Structure 1
């Protein structure tokens, strides 16, 4: 039996983001010879389960996000010294400044997913970026295995650190609800993301204003001044529906099933879970033109880098081309982005 401790997520059951969905599905599809111990934030779980999906849950009384994430991860690693797991799977780099000490005091194999070059994100201050870059360098130097979720990030690790890495993306098939009733396609496009500048939210909204196609845009509009300003500016447009966050998979399944296509504005972060989830629905994908998105979609989606370009491809792409793109997206998703495949790839890193 291989004991694997997982550090760096809010916890499971998944109620937050991509890493949490990853851990939920790693535990769901794990082999019989893997025993997971998942560190969870007690701040996020009023009801504290002792086990979930066969995994043991250990709670830390701090938030797993923001500045507290550094201390949350470090405390989790300190607990691992006493738990003595065979493998320590670290998701994200916040607490990796502690890795040199951890390696001195633990014989555990360290596998780290460095996430999507977090230090490059616009939302961080100058000093936060410096800290995250330093933590990333510690992660790469002191881990036995580095996981990147996109080949573009893998190439960066090769160039920046001359370090071998394993590219493992995310599954998206959990978004498909078997036996659910699929309604006929409706006349709207769908976009779904955190409302941040790097996700090109304003670019997408402006393109739809110019094109007059209908758009449903789901996001956390009220979480920042940036989001509130966009919500106020575009809510009055007759063809744009500004939708507050939806986490219920049944509701999301209905919206994704009925839309004409998915518009993806992310420009950072490697392979984005929301993109691979959308690909499973066999809809045309309109993605911001960057190497991350081109790799994820194998250069077979439609790409834009300005409101005018998005407006033009929405209007001018033929139905035959859209059908071909839809088919390609589903084939790629079923080949590369299922949790059974992703789980097998993770488990090979534990050996």
Structure 2
């Protein structure tokens, strides 16, 4: 056959709860995971691909709920492509379970590959799936691919979900796949899922990563892989961005608002803030007034521009100036408390962090009092 073009995706984890986030953020992230199905359909159309293979974890669990299932199927039905869905560890196959129900509801363009048997995708091209029947197993889920027979000269495309041993996993880890499986099973390409980032292993094996990023620690947007396959040749792989949200981790050393604004200007060139979840650690030394204004700017303005902000300002050390202390009405007992807190904060002892926080609270309350009086 000529060139077969496919889209390789994995780890959609539809129905992921994102429980630690506020309600409106959870809803936005959950909906984006459904929206990315449309993006995968567009990626297939742009690449001229007639097939999308999904290497496991289509759903986040084995009971995603009817709405998630029907939303997913209706979106897949809209795309002019055949979808090949395989169970992973989050949505593993079991008799009479999720995949049996989906098969009864799925349109003809959605194919469920929940048994380890080769299936013809189109003339001259065969899909060799290695679906998981359990969430964890110490056996190699791709071992059966070696003995799967296909017609002479046919393209052999493996589909599996698990960890390549090169990741440093031990023999007791689950769903371990040898890094040379494509060679030992005579595969033209091995499409993998489980690792949520984009990664190639040799010239015939790759992880597509999740199409919509779902955790901090991976700054890159979600993606899939456009694969061009021709018998006897190494596949041509091209990463295609599909995700909406960016999960960015940053560490900024700042001393005043000007430093913060410079960092924010750089961030704005990287992504639209409304599509950014930012895990931000502040470090450095600032006056008490500058520290308060920096945090206020982040919480009261930038935090609302972003989709979500995780802020850690523990390493931004306040060094109160004479003017900072003067802003506090230091008389009587308050004067003694202010002096004691300042001394402890500057001593860098075991009570320094608590003392600095208390002094900052006094300063903020003084500002609020002044604002009320001036009304």
After TM superposition, the score normalised by the length of structure 2 is 0.34
After TM superposition, the score normalised by the length of structure 1 is 0.36
Bigger relative contact order, structure 1 or 2, given CA contacts below 8 A and separation 6+? 1
| Higher helix fraction (1 or 2) | 1
